[in-house]
Amino acid sequence: MISVEPHLGEQQAHIIRQMIASLDEAYWRDRSRHKPNLGLNAEVGYYFSCGRESFPEVIRLAVDAIEPIIPGYECEDWVVNRTPIGGGMPPHIDNEGYLAVSLLCMQSNSGEFRWYENNDLDKPRSILDKSGQLIRFNQMDLVHSVPRALSERYVIVFLYR
């Protein structure tokens, strides 16, 4: 099951995005080098991550406060992915042992999230980035990707068990 819904207002998303975007470069881990989330054919994506525990408290609390509820699951952690212009993630599945994921997009027009019907790479389905929009899925073998980002792209990834 994959679903898309509004979660934050434009203004609220903008404020939290500004807080996150103001972080020093030292907070971000280059995921092409550190714990790369490999693609189906072992390709490496290009994006940066900062985990919940690494954020300054003011940001950690602000994001904790907007944690999306998924009935039947408990949010255990979250991480922010920052994709520079031209960066992205190859088609992959998430294999970190969680049972559901929600993806909160923090800006519009930065690109898209792509998933594949029946995990068929010939059947891509696009969900365009929109500020405050939430994508949820609990099918953990769902193949998905992030095509080349059109502008700097921040997404908060909430992880559930």
Q: Kindly determine how many residues on this chain lie close enough to bind Fe ion according to the rule CB under 5 A.
A: 1
Closest approach, Cβ 97 to Fe ion, in A, equals 13
R_g of the chain computed on alpha carbons: 15
Q: Which residues between 66 and 95 bind Fe ion (CB under 5 A)? A: 94
Closer residue to Fe ion in complex, CB, 94/152 = 94
Pick the closer one to Fe ion by CB: 83 or 107: 83
By CB under 5 A, what part of segment 90-149 binds Fe ion? 94
| 152 lies in the site for Fe ion, by CB under 5 A | no
Compare residues 49 and 131 and give the one whose CB is closer to Fe ion.
Answer: 49
- At 86, is the secondary structure helix, strand, or coil? coil
Distance of alpha carbon 20 from alpha carbon 56, whole angstroms = 10
Q: How far is the CB of 157 from Fe ion (least distance, A)?
A: 8
- Residue pair 45/31 in contact (Cβ under 8 Å)? The answer is yes
Amino acid found at 134: L
Residue nearest to Fe ion (CB): 94
Q: How far is the CB of 144 from Fe ion (least distance, A)?
A: 6
Q: Which is nearer to Fe ion, 95 or 109 (CB)?
A: 95
Residue of 82, 138, 75 lying closest to 106 (CA atoms): 82
Closest CA to 102 of 15, 34, 5: 5
Rounded Cα distance between 90 and 23, Å, is: 26
- Taking the least distance from each CB to Fe ion, the nearer of 15 and 154 is 154
Closest listed residue to residue 137, CA positions, set 107, 111, 161, 102 = 102
Nearest-approach distance from CB 94 to Fe ion, in angstroms: 4
Which chain residues interact with Fe ion by CB under 5 A?
A: 94
